[in-house]
Amino acid sequence: MFEAFLLLIMLVLSAFFSGSETALTSLSRARTESLLAERRLGAKTLHRMKSNLNRTLVIILIGNNLVNTGSAALATVVATEHFGHLGPGLAVGAITLLLLVFGEITPKTYASRYAIVVALVAAKPLEVLGKLLFPLVWALEKLIHWMHSLTSPPKDPSVTESELIALAAHGTQEGSIEAGEHLMIRRIFDFTTLRASDIMVHRHQIFSLDGNRRIGDALNEIIAGSHYRIPLHSGNPEEINHVITLQTVLSEVAQGNLDKALKEAGSDPLFVPPNQPVDSLLDVLKADKERLMVVVNEFGGLLGIFTLEDILEELVGDIYDDNEAPKGDQALLMKFGGNELVVDGTTELRVLEAYFGQELAGKPYDSANLWIITHLERIPVAGECLVLEGLEVKIERASRRRIHEVRIRRPQSAALGPKAAETAEQTTTPKE
């Protein structure tokens, strides 16, 4: 009876060592570090064991071989006592089957499915066993190190780009990573291969104006186009030489400079070849977010244009910001006249600041929506009127989630410049 109990203990230990080996080797170092960051019980010990995996495997294999050899010897002795000369043969067959099913297949299958749980539970006992068997473990570890030194180390990286993409796809299937996050990971890896010609707006799709035109004459077209950056040419749309922003136009209007030429208020674009790597231009555009990139061929001919938003869209998808409105939504600047603006809630504060000639509380790239909600600490309802920083604000359209249309007016006592105040009210058609 005692021998049977001892044999059972050895089978359990064999299962423990086999399962521990599978769990510890299947866990990646990154997963181990994430468990450590989550402060899971046993994560520190697991991290130590994973840091020296060769030593850990030596401990496991010593323990596994000891219990397997011991169980085989015990089974042989017991079988010989009961079956005589037939005992050794019966013992070998029986113990092989038991070890195969209960000492190898079953625990390894379980450990592969529940690797994290098994690894966290097994780490501490294995560390204690390593200390008890230190002389033997140390000697075998040195032997293995010497044998490894006879061959050159592998040159393959431990983690490749394709493996990370595959992991992201697997995480999406399991639900731990959202589809949008998986797509963004793929875009990040593809980003370094992008060239200017891959993201540019083709020359046939470019909205541009003659830079010699007066601001007052071009105002209707600028507002109707709902583009934030407008390329400028000198009579030939194929030869872009300046760029002007809606913010600059509104600022000039506020100062009464309606007779000023567009190009005089504009700035110079940056010309790049079509094969220019996009990632090399990212720092330039981050430093000057208003910059327009003009893609030209070897003869200086226009191929297309792009901005910082076009680069960011390659990473995060479509951005409905400066130079376009979402399909079916209204243009950002819907009405303009004298000392009043009617804008979409997503219009940036810098546009309002340029028109009214004053700084508003918030960042230039904050939206009118955020500006109003921050002051009120709630989402207003349609028809609500309020005064913010000296400006009269009326909510024209709003939902439970955001402001869709807002009318902003400066009181007559603090009206704009003389020419701007005389400008007739102009409207734009919603951009489809």
pLDDT one-digit tens code per residue, 62-98: 999 999 998 888 888 888 877 777 878 888 888 889 8
Give me the pLDDT at residue 1, please. Answer: 67
Give me the pLDDT at residue 328, please. Answer: 35
Cα separation of 275 and 272, whole Å?
A: 8
Give me the pLDDT at residue 214, please. Answer: 94
In tens, the pLDDT along 336-357 reads 556 788 888 888 788 888 778 7
In tens, the pLDDT along 12-57 reads 999 999 999 999 998 888 788 888 888 899 899 999 999 888 889 9
Cα separation of 379 and 401, whole Å?
A: 7
Give me the pLDDT at residue 362, please. Answer: 76
- Strand spans (E) along 48-139: none
Give me the pLDDT at residue 157, please. Answer: 64
Segment 176-203 shows an average pLDDT of: 80
**How confident is residue 385, by pLDDT bands cut at 50, 70 and 90?**
very high
Higher pLDDT, 413 or 277: 277
Give me the pLDDT at residue 153, please. Answer: 66
Measuring CA to CA, how many Å separate 114 from each of 26, 107, 109, 124? 10, 10, 9, 17
Q: Please tell me the least confidently modeled range out of 166-180, 232-246, 310-324.
A: 310-324
Cα separation of 222 and 332, whole Å?
A: 12
In tens, the pLDDT along 268-296 reads 999 999 999 988 888 788 777 778 899 99
Buried-exposed string 262-284: b where 16+ CB fall within 10 A, e elsewhere: bbebbbebeebeeebebeebeee
Please spell the DSSP secondary structure of 349-371, one letter per residue.
HHHHHHHHTS--SS-TTSBHHHH
Q: Pull the structure tokens for residue 226.
A: 């709902």
Segment 173-198 shows an average pLDDT of: 79
Domains, the chain:
2-149 (no CATH), 161-191 (no CATH), 197-316 (3.10.580.10), 333-427 (3.30.465.10)
Asked if the model's pLDDT at residue 430 lies above 60, the reply is no
User: Element (H or E) spanning 335, and its range?
Assistant: strand 333-337
Q: Please tell me the least confidently modeled range out of 167-176, 185-194, 225-234.
A: 167-176
Asked if the model's pLDDT at residue 322 lies above 50, the reply is no
Give me the pLDDT at residue 12, please. Answer: 92
In tens, the pLDDT along 138-170 reads 998 888 888 877 777 666 666 777 777 777 777
Segment 221-238 shows an average pLDDT of: 86
Q: Average pLDDT of the chain? A: 82
